[in-house]
């Protein structure tokens, strides 16, 4: 039909987001949230940083890659399974005592720990790493043979490397997640005593920034409770050589943060995109004089009767008119009164008669 226009309406289907939140990615991968966190820490799942929010997210391509693996999701869940001492000893085919000795010597590295109802520390180990330890032929003597004398003497002296190995493993994970020197310095400071941090970081701005960027560690019990204090002791470096190593690494990362700026000025944040303006020293403000008390009003008739009382003359007005020449006579209250009462005016001020 002439004069009729037919317009086609196209419905746009929203695209699936390229990134997923950790909770949604865990559901799509068939994992519980703690299993997902373990998979990320073990490197089984790759995460990226969201440019908008800065949080960790999982790409759709990574989820598709994991879902395409053979035996999904059972194989993925088995790779992130953790076991305790009893189950780990059964998995390795050794006694619980030998398993505990291997862990105390630092040959088995825990990935998690928690405190039971008796405030005893329960260590958890990746099951896949235990199987790899048994499969390695170099460890056959430690599994079936007699423990060497040097190792037995260390155990007798009270050696227990499980807390230190957990801290080292956790620090390695945090450093892999860090994207700048400030984040790496905050990760290192997480495992140092507070007095050592105050000794190394003397600038208050830097200490405040490290506290703000410090990653959260697992909590055990209410703050100040015996369980919380025990958990804090495990998560803080205790050995002298470990503290020295962490302190040196923290100082090195702080030097990297101070590279573009002097130590006395704070480093720029993400919001500092423009060049800083030079500081302008402002002169101190001048003191403003306080207004004096207003003078008491004086009656004009009384002022004329008593010449000792000074009367301020009225302020003349300046009216500039085009064509006017010479000064204008003052027009004030006294002049108006003189015109009203010619007898009180001076002799030279009487108006002329007609």
Q: Going residue by residue through the chain (354 aa), what tens digit of pLDDT does each one get?
A: 555 555 555 554 445 458 889 999 999 999 999 999 999 999 999 998 877 666 889 999 999 999 999 999 999 999 999 999 999 999 999 999 999 999 999 999 999 999 998 889 999 999 999 999 999 988 888 998 888 899 999 999 999 999 999 999 999 999 999 989 999 999 999 999 999 999 999 999 999 999 999 988 888 888 888 888 999 999 999 999 999 999 999 999 999 988 765 444 444 444 443 334 444 445 455 555 555 555 555 554 554 555 554 555 555 555 545 444 555 555 666 666 666 655 554 544 544 544
**Taking the CB of residue 213, how many other CB atoms lie within 10 A of it?**
17
Provide long-range contacts, Cβ within 8 A and 24+ apart, for 264-271. Answer: 264/203, 266/205, 266/206, 266/209, 267/182, 267/209
Residue 32 CA to residue 77 CA, distance in Å, equals 9
190, 214 Cβ separation under 8 angstroms: yes
- pLDDT value at position 265? 43
Q: How many CB atoms lie within 10 A of CB 117?
A: 6
Is the Cβ–Cβ distance between 313 and 332 less than 8 Å? yes
Rg (CA), the chain: 43
Name the phi and psi angles at 83, rounded to 5: -135, 160
> What topology does CATH give the domain 82-159?
Multidrug-efflux Transporter Regulator; Chain: A; Domain 2 (1.10.1660)
Copy the structure tokens of residue 4: 């009729």
Q: How many CA atoms, within 13 angstroms, populate the side-chain half-sphere of residue 72?
A: 12
Overall residue count recorded for the chain in this entry: 354
Question: How many angstroms separate the CA atoms of 198 and 206, rounded?
Answer: 10
HSE-up (13 A, CA, CB side) for residue 136: 12
- Domain regions of the chain by residue span: 19-79, 82-159, 163-257
Whether residue 215 contacts residue 174, with contact meaning beta carbons closer than 8 Å, is answered with yes
């Amino acid at each position: 039909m002439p004069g009729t226009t037919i317009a086609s309406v196209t419905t746009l289907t929203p695209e699936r987001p390229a990134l997923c939140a950790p909770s949604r990615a865990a559901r799509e991968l068939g994992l519980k949230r703690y299993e997902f966190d373990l998979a990320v820490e073990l490197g089984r799942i790759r995460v990226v940083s969201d440019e908008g929010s800065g949080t960790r997210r999982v790409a759709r391509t990574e989820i598709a890659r994991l879902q395409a693996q053979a035996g999904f999701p059972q194989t993925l869940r088995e790779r992130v399974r953790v076991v305790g001492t009893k189950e780990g000893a059964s998995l390795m085919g050794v006694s619980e005592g030998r398993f505990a000795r291997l862990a105390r010597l630092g040959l088995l590295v825990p990935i998690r720990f928690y405190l039971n109802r008796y405030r005893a520390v329960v260590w958890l180990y990746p099951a896949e790493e235990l199987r790899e330890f048994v499969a390695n032929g170099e460890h056959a003597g430690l599994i079936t043979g007699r423990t060497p004398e040097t190792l037995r003497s260390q155990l007798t002296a009270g050696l227990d490397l499980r807390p230190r190995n957990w801290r080292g493993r956790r620090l390695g994970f945090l450093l892999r997640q860090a994207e700048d020197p400030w984040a790496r310095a905050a990760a290192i400071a997480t495992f140092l005593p507070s007095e050592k941090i105050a000794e190394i970081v003397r600038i208050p701005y830097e200490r405040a920034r490290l506290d703000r960027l410090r990653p959260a560690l697992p909590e055990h019990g209410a703050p100040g409770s015996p369980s919380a204090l025990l958990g804090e002791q495990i998560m803080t470096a205790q050995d002298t050589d470990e503290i020295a190593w962490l302190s040196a690494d923290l100082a090195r990362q702080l030097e990297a943060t101070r590279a573009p700026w002097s130590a006395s000025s704070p480093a720029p944040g993400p919001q500092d995109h423009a060049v800083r303006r030079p500081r302008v020293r402002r002169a101190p403000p001048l003191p403003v004089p306080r207004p004096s008390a207003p003078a008491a009003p004086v009656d004009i008739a009384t002022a004329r009767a008593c010449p000792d009382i000074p009367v301020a003359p009225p302020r003349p007005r300046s009216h500039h008119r085009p064509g006017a020449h010479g000064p204008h006579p003052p027009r004030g209250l006294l002049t108006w009164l003189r015109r009203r009462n010619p007898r009180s005016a001076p002799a030279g001020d009487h108006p002329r008669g007609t």
